[in-house]
Amino acid sequence: MIKRESFLLGAIRSSERFEKLPGEDIIRLNNDAQLLRVGDTIFVLNLKMLERNMGFSALIQQAATETVSAIEELDILDDIEVLRDTLEVPSFARKLSKVKKASPIFKLGISKEAIVEFTKNTPELAGKFKYSEDGTQIRLDTKKSKIAFLKLMNDAFLHSELTQQWYDASAKDNITQGAG
């Protein structure tokens, strides 16, 4: 079904009727904008459409797979397959795809031992994870533990030295590098 205000290119008129064009390259024009170009900058107005129709989902999947491999190298999880299984969930894969590139944990080379110890001693993370029998690896067995693990790997649990409060801070601007 095509909205009345839509214009679909993909059929050619034959002698008595329209025939479908060969191939899959059909352009559909309507009043919805997906991208906006202003000067040299392109603004994405509909990210889900871009992911679905322009191959971005494959790029997200690839970045998420690279992140899982990096986490596997850390040997921090009791069962890495639990994390691999989440690659099929687009929203989780999207979040996972950002970890390797943006996480200070990977950039600074934080050790597995330091990460596991942090999860055990941080009030905000207490009770969110179970551990291997020897206590050296994290076990992800619930959706909440997987989400908490993503936040952990993104270094989203921050402590204020002033107020002694813990915060969930997804966006962080590093002021130690720019101070001067």
The DSSP code sequence of the chain is: ---TT-EEE-EEE-SSSEEEPSSS--EEE-S--SEEEETTEEEES-HHHHHHHSSHHHHHHHHHHHHHHHHHHHT-BS-HHHHHHGGGSHHHHHHHHHHHHH-HHHHTT--HHHHHHHHHH-TTTTTT-EE-TTSSSEE--SHHHHHHHHHHHTT-EEE-TTT--EEE-SS---HHHH--
- The answer as to whether 159 is a domain residue is yes
Which residue is listed with tokens 């590098």?
177
- The answer as to whether 30 is a domain residue is no
Q: Which domain holds residue 130?
A: 54-168
- The answer as to whether 113 is a domain residue is yes
- The answer as to whether 34 is a domain residue is no
Residues with pLDDT less than 50, the chain:
1-8, 179-180
- The answer as to whether 161 is a domain residue is yes
Distance CA 127, CA 175 (A): 31
Q: What is the pLDDT of residue 28?
A: 60
- Residue type for position 42: I
For the whole prediction, is pTM greater than 0.75? no
Q: What is the pLDDT of residue 129?
A: 93
Domain count, the chain: 1
Provide the Cα torsion 154, 156, 160, 163; round to 10°. Answer: -170
Q: What is the pLDDT of residue 2?
A: 43
- The answer as to whether 71 is a domain residue is yes
Q: What is the pLDDT of residue 137?
A: 96
How far is CA 65 from its chain centroid?
A: 11
- Give per-residue pLDDT as tens, 83-111: 999 888 888 998 899 888 888 899 999 99
